Amino acid sequence: MDVLLLGSGGGVITYLMSLFVTWVILEPVSKFIKKAESLPVYPRPPADKEEPQPVDNIAHYSQVFDRIASILSKVEARELFPGMVAQSAIMRGIFTQILKVARTDSTVLISGESGTGKELVASSLYEHSFRQGKPFIKLNCVAIPEGLLESELFGHEKGAFTGATARKTGKFELANKGTIFLDEIGDMPLATQAKLLRVLQEKEFERVGGTRQIRVDVRFIAATNKNLTAMVKDTAFREDLFYRLNVFSIHLPPLRERREDIPFLVEHFLQQSKKVIEVSPEAMQILLRFDWPGNVRELRNVIERAAVIAEGTIEPAHLPKNLAGEFPGSFAGRTDDGRSLDDRLSEIEKGIIIEAISRAGGIQSRAAQILGINQRSLWHRVKKYNIDVSSLKKLQDFRQD
């Protein structure tokens, strides 16, 4: 009996010790969690949505740490890629890809629609590489006439062709020990592709009209807005060159697939303007809904134009008609457009709601107080007018930063 009691007492002591150790470890974590949740930057669900409750403290801690990691990754993105304005998860994934491959000598193929920022990615790869500080040579294959492209890439000897009055150093030679970036490589002629393949394989070439072999040590980056796989099938692009280029591929999504970045891009473009100007909530809703076939480049042009026209605030009337006219609920400042009184009143109501949500920092309970209606009524109106509350909140957070 004494042995049993002693054993039982030993078990109790072990149990109490484990509780003490657990408390010592988790108490600082618990305090950190409470402090983190009280910070203004800590993400919270919209007021109209119920957040799923963690089953226990450990699950709760894991949830908070995941959110903190998301915040830190956004901060890291701003610090490491100041030239690329993006906060979306898909773009932060691309930033991770850039960091992984940048500090290698692997060939990188960047694909994406025109205006998505392929040159910015190439520049980021260079800036984060071991070759940073060495030559970084860029060439757009479309901008050079077909007959002169080989001369631009490999250089030429004096007298190599009519007009070659002196020796010319080519881009590959200029890029020696550094990085060369060939943009729109899908437009390169097949004959030039064959010579480019040799440079990638042998690291050597001859100037046009020359006989001496020139060796180079170059890191190679290429970009295209074309479907190279389809071009290979159509024999419009060399298969062997495609495989040499496609060592590590980075695909940039179109702007319509990362609309949450639009408010940040707009704010960035406005900061570059000489005027102090902002975008009205209703104009922002139009910008968020448009598909942007020209991607970031098109958005920049639209904002720069609107900033010139507007005084103080960019309204829907300052946007191109193909943007504002696409949405029945958008206001373009006209009274002769054939719309009914109900349509115009709905549009006014929508604008008032957007303004209130913006003033409330995206918190719908506060917006309901500003409007003098209950929260459920506001929620129904938000749903009715398809108002993107999360984007309005992100824009407000970005301005505060």
Q: Distance of CA 257 to CAs 116, 133, 165, 296, 389, Å?
A: 11, 34, 50, 12, 18
Rounded CA-CA distance 324/339 in Å is: 15
Rounded CA-CA distance 201/196 in Å is: 9
Quick one: 267 exposed, middle or buried, by C-beta within 10 A (0-12, 13-18, 19+)? middle
Provide Rg for the chain, Cα atoms.
29
Q: What is the pLDDT of residues 57-109, one digit of tens each?
A: 555 555 554 554 444 444 455 667 777 888 888 898 899 899 899 999 999 99
Coil, strand or helix: which one is 160?
Answer: coil
Q: Six-digit token pair at 254?
A: 């179109």
Q: Distance of CA 40 to CAs 36, 37, 198, 276, 401, Å?
A: 9, 8, 57, 26, 11
Residue in the structure block whose two tokens are 């920092």:
361
DSSP 214: E
Q: What is the pLDDT of residue 19?
A: 53
Q: What is the pLDDT of residue 333?
A: 43
Rounded CA-CA distance 298/301 in Å is: 5
Rounded CA-CA distance 244/222 in Å is: 11
Closest CA to 332 of 343, 319, 345: 319
* Cβ-based neighbours of 281, under 8 Å, separated by 6 or more: 351, 354, 355, 357, 358, 392
Q: Six-digit token pair at 302?
A: 């639209």
Residues forming beta bridges with residue 107, ordered by sequence position: none
Q: What is the pLDDT of residues 226-238, one digit of tens each?
A: 999 999 999 999 9
Q: What is the pLDDT of residue 396?
A: 58
Rounded CA-CA distance 218/128 in Å is: 16
Q: What is the pLDDT of residue 46?
A: 47
Rounded CA-CA distance 3/130 in Å is: 68
Q: Which pTM does this prediction carry?
A: 0.67
Q: What is the pLDDT of residue 131?
A: 94
Helices (H) and strands (E) in the chain — how many of each? 17, 11
Q: What is the pLDDT of residue 11?
A: 61
Q: Six-digit token pair at 304?
A: 């720069």
How many Å separate Cα 152 from the centre of its chain?
32
DSSP 337: S
Q: What is the pLDDT of residue 310?
A: 85
Q: What is the pLDDT of residue 122?
A: 96
Closest CA to 290 of 321, 314, 268, 313: 321
Residues in the chain predicted with pLDDT less than 50, given as ranges, are: 1-7, 39-43, 46-51, 55, 65, 68-75, 326-336
Q: Which amino acid is at 4?
A: L
Total residues found in the chain within this entry: 401
Number of C-alpha atoms within 13 angstroms, CB side, residue 220?
22
By DSSP bridging, strand 248-251 and strand 214-215 are unpaired
